[in-house]
Amino acid sequence: MTIELSRAPFGLALICATALAAAPASAEMTLTSPDIAPDTTIGADHVFGGFGCTGPNLSPALEWSGAPEGTNSYILTVYDPDAPTGSGFWHWSLFNIPATTTSLPGGIGQTADLPAGAIAARNDYSQNGWGGPCPPEGDAPHRYIFTIYAMPQEALPIDETASGAVVGFFAHVTGLDSASFTATYGR
At residue 112 the predicted structure's pLDDT band, cuts being 50, 70 and 90, is confident
8 located within any domain: no
Query: Per-residue pLDDT tens for 4-13?
Result: 444 444 333 3
Establish if 174 belongs to a structural domain: yes
In this structure, is the dihedral angle defined by the CA atoms of residues 44, 46, 48 and 54, taken in order, positive or negative?
Answer: positive
Q: Could you report the per-residue pLDDT of 64-105, keeping only the tens digit for each?
A: 999 999 999 999 999 999 999 999 999 999 999 999 999 999
The structural domain count of the chain equals 1
38 belongs to a structural domain: yes
2 found inside a domain = no
Residue 11 lies in a domain: no
Single-letter amino acid code for the residue at 75: I
**Which range marks the domain in which residue 179 is found?**
27-185
* CATH number of the domain to which 35 belongs: 3.90.280.10
pLDDT more than 70, % of the chain: 86
Q: In sequence order, what are the residues at sequence separation of 6 or more whose Cβ sits closer than 8 angstroms to the Cβ of residue 130?
A: 57, 58, 59, 78, 91, 92, 108, 109, 110, 120, 123
The verdict on pTM exceeding 0.75 is yes
